[in-house]
Amino acid sequence: MIRRDDCIRLLAVHHTDEIVVPLYQAAFEWYAIKPWPLTYYAFGAMGQGSSHGLGFAIGVPERQVWVLDGDGSLLMNLGALVTIAEAAPENLVHFVFENGTYEANGAHPIPGAGVVNLAGIAKAAGIPNVHEFSEMEALAEALPGLVAAPGPTFVDLKVVPGGRYEYRWDVVHGPESRAIFRRAMQAVLAAR
């Protein structure tokens, strides 16, 4: 298994100018590890991160979009996978941190924990590039090619919780974070 925060540190090393849509625990970890103006915190909209990411991928095709999703969140909106496959945005990478729990809500088990095959569901939905990783070394080796390949791409990461991170509600819900994102996105759009 991979520690989620180690995985996020690895993603941060490979991150350049991508739009990032982190949800729940990943949002707090992403903020602590790599605060980035083009981060859209999809907090309080469980299940909608992949849909937000799809919207950004379609609306800003010149930028890659990374969704940092959770397995519980994905289960609340599985239909998004079919929509992503149909829209086929080449610039979308959907990372799913699979730990078998609704971690942000008390670590209650997700339905089908240990049984559900999220990568299999993504393949069946028509996502062309689907990957699964449970070892950090394999992920580190594959990641550069994975993010460089045309998508949409789905990456199921078998993780365990990482360290303890401060719950920065002021960031994930705060108007300043939205203003920072809005200004950064306006700069991207103005540069077209």
For residue 51, the domain's CATH number is 3.40.50.970
The pTM of this model reads 0.94
Asked if 40 contacts 19 with a C-beta cutoff of 8 angstroms, the reply is yes
Sites in the chain below the pLDDT cut of 50 = none
Q: Which residues constitute the domain of residue 129?
A: 2-190
Distance CA 106, CA 118 (A): 22
Q: What is the DSSP letter of 99?
A: -
Q: Which two tokens stand for residue 49?
A: 């991160």
Candidates 46, 24, 43, 22; CA nearest to 34 is 22
Taking only the tens place, the pLDDT of each residue in 62-98 is: 999 999 999 988 999 999 999 999 999 999 999 999 9
- If one counts the domains in the chain, the total is 1
Residue 120, number of CB atoms within 10 A of its CB: 12
Distance CA 179, CA 57 (A): 20
Strand runs labelled E in 54-143: 65-70, 92-98, 101-102, 108-109, 129-133
Q: Which two tokens stand for residue 153?
A: 């791409």
Q: Cα angle at 55 between 54 and 61, to 5 degrees? A: 85
What pLDDT is attached to residue 64? Answer: 98
Residue 109, number of CB atoms within 10 A of its CB: 12
What pLDDT is attached to residue 106? Answer: 66
